[in-house]
Structure 1
Amino acid sequence: MSSLLTTFRGELAALSAALIWALASVVYISLGQQLSPLRLNLIKGLIAIGFLLLTLLLQGKLLPHVSPTALGLLCLSGVIGIGFGDTAYFEALNCLGARRTLALESIAPPLAAVMALVFLQERLTVGAWLGIALTIAGVAWVVVERTTEATTQPQLCRGAGFGLLAALGQASGAVLSRAALAGTTIDPLWSAFIRLVAGGLVLLLWLLVQQRSAQTLNQDLKLLRSPRFLFILTGTAFASTYLAIWLQQISLKYTAAGIAQALSATSPLFVIPLAIALGEKVSPRAILGVLIALVGIWLLLSWK
């Protein structure tokens, strides 16, 4: 069992991150109705940085040896993937809802695989490419099954634009992280910390250049002083940013970028058993989509 966990630790970490993101997406839709995407992204990042710093202190992993090249790649990954990519993702969620946004996110894994092939010469087997295709096809089949979100044409166009930017940001961030982590001794915990700090700094600068009214700032402070809101936001940030990004960095260190992204994109699949457990009716189409994706996941796990 331990040898299997070691062999597939990257893939299992990606699937674990997907499970966390599936649950967190529902909460973020509610939080996004009260805070703008930019402020929500910044605050959740600051909370996660605090948790990561505490973990590093407890583990005694301070001041690691990180080459300037790797540090630059991780900082750039944080700026693109977390600073811009996650903000665009939250904006897309507000405009399109979870299903349509996740459908657009399906282009991130093949995009990451192609970018890794071009820039990192990371070649995958035919079986791995087929696994990526089947996994994403199954996820997309589940996601676009039905759409209950009412969306106006301007919202649709705006949401589609931000969804595509989010997918590009996630793919680029993943490839940059993979370039920094592959074949090095950098701890995934430290890489997650560096990415979040870089992303947080660009978000803070972005927020400072925006002209915010005193009334808006007072509303934000009042909201953050609400114990219930702060508890929900802290808990969600702990799971989706602290744990999930740490797991994502583990996956990118120990498996190919395209495979890590494909497995991380399986979040919608985890909603199906949850819906069944809650007594909701799940269509045969959704179950078929899950089965297709599971075949793809099996191919991705067997590519080694």
Structure 2
Amino acid sequence: MTDFKGELAALCAAFLWAVSSLVYGRLGQRISPLELNLLKGTVAIALLIFTLLLSRDFLPAITPTALSLLLLSGVVGIGLGDTAFFTALNCLGARRALLMETLAPPITAILALIFLQEELSILAWCGILLTVLGVAWVVTEKVPSSSGPTHLLRGIGFGMLAAIALASGAVLSRAVFATTNISSLWAALLRLSGGVLILLPWLWLRQKQSRSQLETLPSIPVIGSIFFAAFAGTYLGIWLQQTAIKFTAAGIALTLTNTSPLFVLPLAVCLGERVSLRASLGVVIALSGIAVLFYLR
């Protein structure tokens, strides 16, 4: 009997990431991307540790190499990738920034081809082309309320950086899962720890160079928003993603978790943002490319 548990979990993860991205986009007006990434990572780590203690899930034996790869995966994918994504959010808005993130799956396939010798079919490369075209179609759209070409180019650059960093982190994690029996919760905790640890000296150097310190602590509403976004987008998002991979094929799970832009469109309309036909078509083209890449390769 098919209950579509994995598919539903993947769609729920995509919805939660879409909602949290809108929250992060508003928080980015008050908190820098670096500080926001550090705060949400700290909250998610605390929630993961609490869950591990409740489930009595103890860390299995793991080699130093595997441990280093997981930490490096967090440094690249979370420390660098999420900070770049939050910067793209500030420049492009949630709709465009999430669509830029749809580049991560095809970039992952390219990196796997180079470093893991995973060959791709012609249909897979067609999927990559469709995804790139869909992203280009939307991010080059002229929006009257946009911040101008300088912010657009900056957002595209950080969006590309985020996609490459997220893809690199995913390949590093996949290498560890292939050789160890570590649980998804422990892998998530180690990756988040690596991402947060690299942010601490990064933030210290930035504040030292600018000779500035945080003038005031975040207000209670801002702290509540950070906790909600970290709980929904990072903690629950990781759990639902792993549930999807457990109960359905990885390609299907990854495709469905990248449907966040589809959820952002109605959410953006509810927030008063006008979504053009061109933006909608770009989302469809990009997601069609991802579907081709993972279903038909």
Range with bigger deviation, 279-288 or 63-72:
279-288
Amino acid at match of 2:259: T
1:1-304 to structure 2, matched below 5 A, reads 1-2=1-2, 5=5, 9=6, 14-124=10-120, 130=126, 134=130, 147-182=143-178, 184-211=180-207, 216-219=213-216, 221=217, 223=218, 226-248=219-241, 262-274=255-267, 288=281, 302-303=295-296
- The aligned amino acid for 2:220 is P
**Amino acid in structure 1 at the alignment position of 2:224:** F
Alpha-carbon offset, residue 249 of structure 1: 5.1
The superposition leaves residues 153-186 of structure 1 with CA deviations (integer Å, 9 ceiling, x where unpaired) of 4433433322221111111111111111236422
CA RMSD of aligned residues (A): 3.5
CA distance in 1, matches of 2:171, 2:96: 24
Query: How far off its partner does 1:37 sit?
Result: 0.6
**SS in structure 1 of the partner of residue 109 of structure 2:** helix
**Closer, same or farther: CA 216–108 of 1 in aligned 2, 3 Å:** same
Native 8 Å contact 2:11 2:257 kept in 1: yes
Structure 1 range deviating more: 178-187 or 199-208: 178-187
**Residues 73 and 87 of structure 1, relative CA distance in 2, 3 Å threshold:** same
DSSP-derived class of the 2:159 partner: helix
Q: Distance in 2 between matches of 1:283 and 1:152?
A: 18
1:3-26: CA deviation from partner (whole Å, max 9, x where unpaired): 754xxx4x6655433222111111
How far 1:152 moved relative to its partner? 3.5
Q: Which amino acid aligns with 1:191?
A: A
Unaligned runs of at least 5 residues, structure 2 = none
Using the TM superposition, give the Cα deviation of residue 47 of structure 1 relative to its aligned residue in structure 2, in angstroms: 0.2
Question: For residues 67 and 3 of structure 1, what CA distance do their matches in structure 2 show?
Answer: 37
The whole-number CA distance in structure 2 between the counterparts of 1:13 and 1:116 is 25
8 A Cα contact 1:139 1:269, kept in partner: no
2:50 partner SS = helix
Which piece of structure 1 moves more, 60-69 or 143-152? 143-152
TM-score (norm. length: structure 1): 0.79
Secondary structure of the structure 1 residue equivalent to 2:147: coil
Between 32-41 and 59-68, report the one with greater CA deviation: 59-68
Mapped partners of 2:88, 2:105: distance in 1: 18
Instruction: Tell me how far 1:56 sits from its aligned partner.
Output: 0.5
What CA deviation, in whole Å up to 9, does each residue of 1:122-176 have, x standing for no partner? 3455555555655665576566666344224443343332222111111111111
- How many aligned positions are there? 295
Question: Sequence identity of aligned pairs in percent?
Answer: 56
Q: Structure 1: which 5+ residue stretches go unaligned?
A: none
What is the rounded CA distance, in whole Å, between the counterparts of 2:184 and 2:154 in structure 1? 34
Single out whichever of 163-172 and 294-303 deviates more from structure 2. Answer: 294-303
Give the conservation status (yes or no) of the 8 Å contact 1:84–1:169: yes
Counterpart-to-counterpart distance in 1, 2:104 and 2:264: 20
Q: Whole-Å Cα distance in 2 between the matches of residues 266 and 234 of structure 1?
A: 23
| TM norm structure 2 | 0.81
Please give the alpha-carbon distance, in whole angstroms, between the structure 1 residues aligned to 2:8 and 2:135.
17
Q: Is the 8 A contact 1:17 1:264 kept in 2?
A: yes
Distance 1:166 1:88 in 2: 5
Give the secondary-structure state (helix, strand or coil) at the position aligned to 1:97.
Answer: helix
Instruction: Please give the alpha-carbon distance, in whole angstroms, between the structure 1 residues aligned to 2:132 and 2:25.
Output: 23
C-alpha separation between the residues in 2 aligned to 1:121 and 1:294?
Answer: 25
